Amino acid sequence: MHKFKTLEPVRLHKSQRLTPQNLVGRLPSDLHLIILAHLPVHDIPAYARCSHATSALAYDESLWQKRWTALAVEKHGLSGPLDDVEAHQKGQVAASRAAAPPTIPVDDDFGDFASVDILQPPPEELGDFVGAFDALAAPSRVPVTSVQTKDTFRNKFIRVHNLLKPLLRHLSSPPHLILTELASVVSPSIRTQAKLLRLLSLFLSPLIQPVRRYDALLSSLRSAMDRFDASLLSNFDVADGKGDEAGMKEAAESSWDLWDGAGDWEMGKVWAEKREIFYQHGWKPLNNITGNGLDFTPMDDFMSQILEAVNDHGARAVRIFPPRAQVLIAFADRLATEVVGEYIMSLLERAREVSTVMYLQATAASFSQAWKMVDAILQAAEQRKDSEVTRTKAEDVVYQMFETNMDEYLDEEVEYLKQVFDNICKSWDRQMTAKSSDASGSTTRFLSSHNPAQVKRNVLTSFTNILLLPVTIVPRTVNAVGGALITGGSAAVQGISMLNPQRWAGTASSTATEASYSRNFDKDGGMLFEADFEEDDSKTVATLNSDTFCSLYCVADTLTPVNSTDSAVKTSSSQQQGPEGANQLDLLLSLDIALELIHADREALKRVETFAGYPGHYGHRVRDTIEELFILVLQILGERHVTKGFGQATERMRAYKPAEHQETMSVAPLVQFFELVHIGDMIQSMVQVYFDKELAPHIDKTDFLNAVVREKKRFENSL
């Protein structure tokens, strides 16, 4: 019989033995290191003499690394003054030895102890504590060579301590005597003197605390540093008056080394305050508003002087001031806020009083004009390769200046577009009411064509070319544009009106024509899709205009033979309708209205796109506004035009009774309904083209949760 061995229970959680801590007395060594890290330097020897273990802990490199880092010798390049102080002290020792009377060496009871150099102690001595660092030696008395220890943080700190502590006795004197005494131990360069003062201020900081009265000595040193900085500022002003950039640069770099940018740097502010551009008062921002609208020619002149100031004074700031001071950015920021910002604020306040549309146009145009400062700042920064002026910093100058106007502008843009859409829809409703009482016949446009698909392709191609035309953001006078370009603008108006096949047939009512695109041109003094006639883009725009308008008129020419067919259709249509002229189903939708809605939305969209690069909170608001503008045109076009038109057509088709029209072989309502379907399909295709050209760069088309994508899908489903 087999014997079974009883299984022992298995411990699921094995108890892990804690590693024994290295105790010094009753406390762990880590706690002693924390205490040593917070002790002043002059108390470390006393703590180290408690035991051999605490003496060994005082040699820990982490303690001295923290203090060496606090001196920032390598970070700020302060090793030069240390070398000068060391050379000065060695010269004093050599001079004292040379002045001592000659002596005869005689053996005495003290032996080698007579050779100790009191004036120049070895690195192991910490100030007045003779043998202090010897007492901190580890129990194993192994001699360490100087080659092995010269790069340790402890030895580096001891060297600085031994060099700077003798200089602290001068800090009990008045500030002018302090500067005189300290200047005698370094080279006569004012930059070296500034670095020595900076090094002493770091040496007397609370992180190091080299002596017990460090706070009183630091206060005295601060007074001397203020006096020295005042003398540097005086030298800078004298050099500035003479145009001596070398003297200005030396004084500026010395002042920067003295304070290292702590707090508000006085020299950079004083230099900026003396620029005359801040005190000129001849600007007249209201001249940009004329009787016919906006004319930004005065602002062009204003910005040219601003850019000249940035190029002139900004380039000099880059040459004379240290790169880390960022004086160019500070100067440009003040110039943008106090001069450009005030100019724009006055202009927008007046434009707001005139009309909302003028306020919206002036806001986008003002930002475009102010944006010129970015290129001017970057051009000035090229004076120095290490200027540390990035494009992001230059753009932030304009962004921060314009932030105060963003909330009101974005809100007004959306509200104004809603009003425009509402007026367009109400105008269309009035036209439909007038047409319902008119018994004149209608004609088919797509069905009467030999190739309706080709008609749609031609219209979409021309519509796409129209969308490629840039929109004018900065309005200018007609004289600044030029006669040739005015002709192109007039052709743009005619070309857009030719997009509607109703006009090709030549039977559309003159009322609809006047109510669509030509009703506001005389008042606004512009065009439907106004080209941006900047100097650099004038040739490109002119070429694009000619190609676009050629394609538009070619479309009209290809459809010219349709007129004969249309006349026949018109005759039969008028015969069949008679008193039922209200059943003009194909007139329930209008490409004119669709184009007008898209045009109004595109104008608002292009204005908002001016701010598309905004970072942070306002960047999110701008992107949300762009999406909201497109959602608005989809909702208005779908709910108040397309869906409404098809709803009325469906009701009329249900009320249509073919038996009452047996005397004719024509089925006019069906033909008109099919024509209405073609128009609806044309509108949907135009919306798709508009979406691909204008909205796709701003959103992810594959994100089905995006509000724009969802609204577009809902619009398509309504058809």
List, as one string, the DSSP characters of 614-675.
Answer: --HHHHHHHHHHHHHHHHHHHHHHIIIIIHHHHHHHHHHHHH--GGGGTT-S--HHHHHHHH
Q: How far apart are the first and last CA of the chain?
A: 88
Mean pLDDT of 618-622: 94
Match 């506001």 to its residue by tokens: 520
Between CA 405 and CA 226 the distance in angstroms is 41
Share of the chain above pLDDT 70, in %: 69
Model confidence band, residue 435 (pLDDT cutoffs 50, 70, 90): low
What's the pLDDT at 199?
94
Contacts of 51 (CB under 8 A, 6+ apart): 24, 25
What's the pLDDT at 99?
73
Task: Tell the burial category of 667 from Cβ atoms under 10 Å away from its Cβ (0-12, 13-18, 19+).
Answer: middle
Coil/strand/helix, residue 714: helix
Model confidence band, residue 555 (pLDDT cutoffs 50, 70, 90): very low
**Host H or E run for residue 184:** none
Between CA 220 and CA 344 the distance in angstroms is 48
Between CA 505 and CA 567 the distance in angstroms is 9
Model confidence band, residue 397 (pLDDT cutoffs 50, 70, 90): very high
What's the pLDDT at 447?
53
Judge contact between 286 and 350, C-beta under 8 A: yes
Task: Say if residue 677's pLDDT is above 90.
Answer: no
pLDDT in tens, 638-666: 887 777 777 776 777 777 676 665 555 55
What's the pLDDT at 587?
63
707 vs 107, residue with greater confidence: 707
- Tell which phi-psi region holds residue 640, choosing left (phi > 0), alpha (psi between -120 and 50) or beta: alpha
- Count Cα neighbours of 316 within 13 Å in the Cβ-side half-sphere: 17
What's the pLDDT at 398?
96
pLDDT in tens, 625-639: 999 999 998 888 888
Match 């992107």 to its residue by tokens: 623
Between CA 485 and CA 530 the distance in angstroms is 11
Instruction: Spell out a b/e string for 390-418, using b for 16 or more CB atoms within 10 Å of the CB, else e.
Output: eeebbbbbbbebbeebbeebbebbeebbe
Match 């007492």 to its residue by tokens: 135
Judge contact between 560 and 550, C-beta under 8 A: no
Task: Say if residue 388's pLDDT is above 50.
Answer: yes
Average pLDDT, the chain: 76
Q: What is the DSSP letter of 294?
A: E
Contacts of 417 (CB under 8 A, 6+ apart): 600, 601, 604, 629, 632
Which amino acid type is present at position 572?
A: S
Between CA 435 and CA 452 the distance in angstroms is 26
What's the pLDDT at 131?
47
Task: Say if residue 170's pLDDT is above 60.
Answer: yes
Mean pLDDT of 267-289: 90
- In this structure, the number of other CB atoms found within 10 A of the CB of residue 490 comes to 12
Nearest CA to 522 out of 532, 514, 510, 534 is that of 514
What's the pLDDT at 513?
39
Between CA 535 and CA 606 the distance in angstroms is 20
Mean pLDDT of 481-497: 40
- Highest-confidence range of 66-75, 591-600, 648-657, 693-702, by mean pLDDT? 66-75
Model confidence band, residue 516 (pLDDT cutoffs 50, 70, 90): very low
What's the pLDDT at 537?
44
What's the pLDDT at 528?
38
Task: Say if residue 41's pLDDT is above 60.
Answer: yes
What's the pLDDT at 40?
92
- The region of weakest confidence among 350-359, 535-544, 603-612 is 535-544
Nearest CA to 137 out of 151, 150, 154 is that of 154
Judge contact between 448 and 566, C-beta under 8 A: yes
Query: Tokens representing 485?
Result: 């370009």
Model confidence band, residue 480 (pLDDT cutoffs 50, 70, 90): very low
Could you tell me the pTM of the whole model? 0.72
Mean pLDDT of 230-252: 93
466 vs 196, residue with greater confidence: 196
Judge contact between 466 and 285, C-beta under 8 A: no
Between CA 471 and CA 350 the distance in angstroms is 24
- In this structure, the number of other CB atoms found within 10 A of the CB of residue 26 comes to 6
Model confidence band, residue 165 (pLDDT cutoffs 50, 70, 90): very high
Query: Tokens representing 81?
Result: 């003054």
pLDDT in tens, 325-365: 999 999 999 999 999 999 999 999 999 999 999 999 999 99
pLDDT in tens, 563-579: 333 433 333 333 344 33
Judge contact between 202 and 67, C-beta under 8 A: no
Which amino acid type is present at position 623?
A: R
Mean pLDDT of 404-415: 95
What's the pLDDT at 510?
41
- In this structure, the number of other CB atoms found within 10 A of the CB of residue 370 comes to 22
